[in-house]
Every structure is written in structure tokens, then in C-alpha cells.
Structure 1
Amino acid sequence: MLRNKKLFLYLYDMAAFWEFIEHYSSISEESKNAWSALLKTSSISKGDNYLDQGAIPKDIAFISSGLLSYYYLNEKGEKIIKRFFQENSLVASTSALLKQEPGFFAIEALEVTKLISYSFKDFRNLARKYNDIANFYISYLERHWVIEKEFAEITLKSATAKERYLRFENDYPELISRLKLHQIASYLAITPTQLSRIRAEL
């Protein structure tokens, strides 16, 4: 019974992975088979790091379930959160991954998190061989690593603290109950006290 349940959950997670991928580009069976050979499953406990600050990242991971934060430690040793990654998204330290150099950011599990990961180097080799995988790569890069990143940076720099919180609440309503006050405050670049005041005013 337990073995059947694990198999069911594995197949369910894989189905979610391919559904996510094909949202950006249709993938042939031949390409799926080649890509599937790279896939590895893993689980991270709450509070553990998927990637340590200063490590050279090798993989990209799809989040089957769970929640991760993308952060760095400032000169005071405080965690400065730049982004959250939740289920049905890809997580990586993109700049360090592309440059293959020690990363400035760490990635921490805020909940028990299940991942499907694959080697970025091997994936790029597949993208050179299969046009549909290359199309996914380009489509995903354009949307998430360029357009969304630039928009988020502009919004955080130009908006007031209240405007930033309201936008976060509008864009990620499902995260409000899953995050602690100080985690949201860190992401918004304000203090927990400021965030409490903003919430009290709404």
C-alpha cells in the first residue's frame, strides 16, 4: 500500500512538472524521454538550505510542493529576502548558475519542500539538440529571468512601503498566511513594525 502511494505521488509530481513545462512550449515524446533521464527527486526539511551562500549552483529545480526563500546575509548577519519560490515554479540562483561562480544568494526551505531537479549543464546540451526544449528555455528566460525581474526591481525602488505591500498582497494572496511577518517585511525592505502599522491602517 505504501509503495503504491509513493508511486502515485511520484507520477502526480511528474505530471505537474510536464504540465508546467508545456505551458511555455509543447514538448515531443522524444524530448521528454531525453529530459526525463536527467530528473532527480528530493525533499528538503523546513529551515534547511537548498543552496548555501557562496556555493556554485549546478541544478535547476521544479517545486512540486513547499515554499523557498531567496536571500543573502547583510553585514549585520540579517537575512535580506529578495524573492519567494512556491509550488509549480522553477528555483535557481540564476546569475551564479549561468556564470558558474559562487553565488551571493542562498535558498532556504520555509516549509517541507519536494523538488524535481536536473543538471543545468546537461539541460543546455539538450536544448542544443532539441528545438522544442530550446523553445521552452527561451520562453521561460524571457518571461521570468528578464521581464519579471526588471519589473519587480523597478516596483520595489519606486513604490512606497504601503504600495509595495498592497502589490504583494494582490500578486501573492496565497503566501500571506504561509509567511511570517518578518519574512514579508524583509522582502518589502521595511521593518516588521512598519509592516504592522501598514496592516493596521488597511
Structure 2
Amino acid sequence: MNLDLKSVQGKLSQSWHSMPDTTKKISSVIIPIFELDDLGQGLILTQRAKHLNSHPGQISFPGGVLDPEDKDLLQCALREWEEEMGVSREQLTVLGKHEGMQTRTGFHITPFLGKYIGDFQFSHNEDEVEKIIILPFSKLLKAPFYSLQFTSRNGDDHSFYFDLEDGLLWGATCEMIIRLLNDYASFDRKPIQVQPNLNSPPFFDPKLI
């Protein structure tokens, strides 16, 4: 499973300056894609520090909330990349903007795809990031994959989960990955349908099956 990055770039939005029409908190992230001879293509993710108030310990993309000094959402995502990963934005080739999404926790997230061209020598910010996760796409074809169906105030809804060696990948990050692969890599895995076995987020733990 690979992305044709030239084709993807041609299909992504190249408009950095437009803002979403929303009352939710506006944020943006970088989806960093790598290509290595031994691992193939994949994603670079972070595990958020466990002491953070928001989504502690969760696997996520580098990014955050738009600050007043950010001139647009891309600059927000690149600033957060540098702050969290400890490396320059020059190590990314920005390919374009993918579809934004509203989260159930009150955020609107705009993802920007970037091809990572660095040497994987990160100096991540330990106040924000527990560790860096290098995730080949091949692992998403093998990892246990689940879907939890539920009813929200907006009607029928769902949450996806990948049970990775590095932890549970779920929430908005998981949704963005699946949207990307559905749109550009013909990702067609069918998740195992599950019921909640926790009373609070993430509402499902594969270890309790």
C-alpha cells in the first residue's frame, strides 16, 4: 500500500490562507510521510506526553491550535512541527491541504501533508511529546483494526482503532489516516465491529476483549 505522492499533490488543495467557517477551536496538523528502502512508505507520529491536560498519552500528528501570530493554518502546523519535533520545517516538503474535520471535543482540524526529507534525528520536546513513532503503512495492513458504533447528538457515529505495538491509535488522528488512505491508496480493510468496554475515552480497549 503506497501513495503516489505526485498524484496526491495534484489533487490536494494548494490554498493555505482560507479559514474554516466554524465556531469550533481552529487547529492544524502536519501529516508527515516518509519513504525508506527498508520500510517503504509510512507516517511519523508522536505520542503525547502523559502529563498533558488534553489527550494525554494519545498518538497524534504534530500540530496544535492556531495562535494569533500564525498568519495561516499552514504556518500554525509548521510552527508546531518545529516545537514538538525539534527539527526545522525545511525537512518537510509540503504537498498540500487535505480535507478538514470537526471533532467531538470542540476542534476543527486542518491536515497538511508533508513529505519528510530529514535524517530521522529528532530532538522532540519532552514537555509535549513522550516519543516519536515511525509507522510504516504495511503495519496498518496487519494491525488489529476495530470500529465502535454509537449514537451521538448528531446521529449515528463511529470511532476507529488500530491496536499498534506502540499503543492504541484512535480518535481524530486515526480518522485522518483512514480518510487519507481511502482517498489515495484504496485502503479497503473492514474493521472488526466492537462494543464499548470502557466508560470513558477511548471507550474501547482491545486488551479487555
So what's the TM-score if we normalise by structure 2?
0.30
More helix by share: 1
So what's the TM-score if we normalise by structure 1?
0.31
* Larger Rg computed on CA atoms: 1
More strand by share: 2
